[in-house]
Amino acid sequence: MAYSAPRGTVDILSDVSGKWQELEQLIRTICVNYNVKEMRTPIFEHTELFTRSIGDTTDVVTKEMYTFDDKKKRSITLRPEGTAGIARAYVEHKLYALPEKLQKYYYMGPMFRYERPGNGRQRQFHQFGVEMLGLESPYVDVECMVMAVTVVEALGLRNVKLHINSLGDEESRNTYREALKKHFAPALSELCFDCQQRFEKNPLRILDCKVDKDHPIMNNAPKTIDYLSESAKNHFDKVCALLDDLEIEYVIDTNLVRGLDYYSHTVFEIISDDPQMGQGSTVGGGGRYNTLISELGGPEVPGVGFAFGMERLMLALGNAQNEEDGLDVYLMPLGEQAKDLAVQIITMLRANGFTCDMDQCDRGLKGQFKSADRYHAHFSMIIGDEEVKKEVVNMKCNHSKEQTEVALENIVSFIEEHFEGGHHHE
């Protein structure tokens, strides 16, 4: 039988994994700049965590989760998103008791949703997200949004626009919920089965419906922003003022409601018209959630966060091979004595932090030079019987094509001086 990867999963092969590392390193660097610390949570959790936190009327919970019973008949779910696990760990380990009231965490790793695979969308996909827990503050909302924008700009995405909206506080949501029900009630029988179910439990979800999105009643649905309480309106006005001060372009998008039940106040999405992503692509998004921690058994602790699907960010990075990803040195021994010496040299070079490989196939120079090209090696180090006798190596710079005889004890300093002098750009 020929085996293949399950539908909706992909193998990240070695020719692509370097790009993944580049993306991960970029994310980690930005997180360090923002004083956001990494948290790693389990890939599977008790199912109840997701039904309670994400909401049992959402598509994620009702249609997309990978859920199974373990050997003790406990219901277990592969994580479909990262926020719930961070919130659970925050409560379980009493991180709210730490002296710094605002705690900032990021996560990065595989998530699982049973949905139709497509470009940049898989059943096992990778997500990067940030959660800032402890303060209900428009300043923290804005820090979160600016950080999200920073990530996409660092990737070189063009035509990026921040879309924002406010769902308001609990008082606003209750008023809005009643307005929505009143609006949709006359046409309820014309809406899909799912929307009819959502009508009582969570009418906000009707606005997210893919089936009824073109129904005329959707066009003139009430807007959240018209039902904000005074304090919720002040919060949102301050968010807008701070973004204005930072000269960050944004659009107030009253159709933006975000799919998960735990959101309140500010919600946002980053939309790109970059040709690599496709017109109007949502790159990532997030928002404020003030009741999630208490719903999971913790104290009344507010939070705000965002998440990006990393496959979508990978589309932004493109597939160009970066010359800088090449090896520093490819060692080319000719004969057994040369190979013995090459093993010693390569071990010493790696210990000094250089990226190296060597020919293990006992090929001639022509075949070895081809490998040096494929690995984008900066230097080819040629070692034959003559070099072994003289205790030297021949260093060929594959950019300038210059070849230099270098004594064994001077190899490290020769490479360092070459790189520091900028000769590798020639």
Q: What is the pLDDT of residues 52-74, one digit of tens each?
A: 877 665 666 767 899 999 999 99
Segment 169-214, tens digit of pLDDT: 888 888 888 888 888 888 777 888 878 877 777 777 777 777 777 7
At residue 17, the 3 state secondary structure works out as: helix
pLDDT above 80: residue 162: yes
Query: Which is nearest to 20 in space by CA: 165, 162, 125, 146?
Result: 125
Residue 68 token pair: 């199974």
Q: What is the CB neighbour count within 10 angstroms for residue 417?
A: 11
How far, in Å, CA of 310 to CA of 107, rounded? 12
The model's pTM is: 0.81
Q: 67-93 in b/e burial notation, b at 16+ Cβ within 10 A? A: eeeeeeeeeebbbbbbbbbbbbbbbee
CB 291 within 8 A of CB 280: no
Assign 319 a pLDDT band (cuts: 50, 70, 90): very low
Whole-angstrom distance, CA of residue 305 vs CA of residue 296: 17
Element (H, E) at 357: strand 356-358
> What pLDDT, on the 0 to 100 scale, is given for residue 320?
43
